[in-house]
Amino acid sequence: MFEVIGERINTSRKNVQTAVADRNSAYIQDDVKKQLDAGSNYIDVNAGARIGHEDEDMKWLLDTIQPISTVPLCLDSPDPVILEMAFKMVEKTPMINSISLEKKRFEAMIPFLKGKNCKIIGLCMDDAGMPSSSEDIIARAEKLVKELENIGSNQDSIYLDPLVQPISTDSEKGTTVLNAVRSIKNKFPKVHITGGLSNISYGLPQRKIINRTFVALMMEAGMDSAIIDPLDSAIMATIKTADMLLGNDNFCGNYLKGVRAGAILS
């Protein structure tokens, strides 16, 4: 099943930041409810944008969201101290967003992750920066899987983000990621592929058609999760439709349900 990580509760979004600063729990709960109704499998929570307030903001957000969330949360911070605090607060096994191979981040995250039963997003990034080729992405993916297995994570808990980059800067950026995802899924069939998609369309007009087309291609290559805005009904409809076309929807049940609910339009 394709898993949607709803990305909206992020204090770098202006309305969310205002709501968090004002401790406006009705706004946050309403937004979360909409994301749940739209089919989110995880709700991402990022409290990083109000510098110096991450600890209190994260606590308040978790207190606000947890009573109404029917799905697990995706705890989004580079700081293991914040994550440790957040991890203790959540009831359902969370997803952690994220670890990477950047030395400092990696070394800070490993002790936090060790022995914890949680899902973990691994960014295919190291101290050399963004990956520049398919081989780069694959090598980093292999390293992440190996390191996470070493501390007891099973492959089914690992969600790799191959780091989509703007096709406006290099016409090969789409195929670079698609080929890498195919190869990673070949080597590690149980590992999940996730990530943001909208980077692909940066610098081009009419971005949403690019994002939608790309998610379908990525799903064929093996992507089975994405960090997106679930209130973008067109991309959600594309995901449901592609999932059906890829053989993941028995008797086209979810597709038909989506159509009847008015969520999928031609």
Partner 1 sequence: MTDFNEIKETLVGCDEPKLVQLVNDALEQKIPAVDILNKGLIAGMDIVGEKMENEEMFIPEVLMAAQAMSSCVKVLKPLLSDDDSAGGGTVVIGTVKGDLHDIGKNLVGMMIESGGMTVHNLGVDVSPQQFVEQAQEKNANIICLSALLTTTMPMMKQTIDAVAESGLRDKVKIMVGGAPVTQAFADKIGADGFAADAGSAVKAAKAFIL
Chain contacts with partner 1 (rule: CB under 8 A) = 12, 48-49, 51, 78, 102, 125, 127-130, 165-166, 168-169, 171, 202-205
Q: Which is nearer to partner 1, 14 or 260 (CB)?
A: 14
CB burial readout 8-18, b (16+ within 10 A) else e = bbbbebeebbe
Smallest distance, Å, CB 127 to partner 1?
A: 8
Smallest distance, Å, CB 246 to partner 1?
A: 30
Q: Which is nearer to partner 1, 152 or 203 (CB)?
A: 203
Q: Which is nearer to partner 1, 114 or 207 (CB)?
A: 207
Looking at the DSSP assignment, which residues form a beta bridge with residue 211?
none
Tell me which residue of 36, 32, 26, 33 sits closest to 9, measured CA to CA: 32
Smallest distance, Å, CB 34 to partner 1?
A: 24
Q: Which is nearer to partner 1, 47 or 242 (CB)?
A: 47
Q: Which is nearer to partner 1, 78 or 231 (CB)?
A: 78
Smallest distance, Å, CB 53 to partner 1?
A: 12
Smallest distance, Å, CB 39 to partner 1?
A: 27
Q: Report how far residue 27's alpha carbon sits from residue 61's, in angstroms, rounded to the nearest whole number.
A: 11
Residues for the chain: how many in total?
266
- Describe the strand order of the beta sheet including 119-126 as a list of residue ranges: 192-193, 158-161, 119-126, 95-101, 73-76, 42-46, 3-10, 225-228
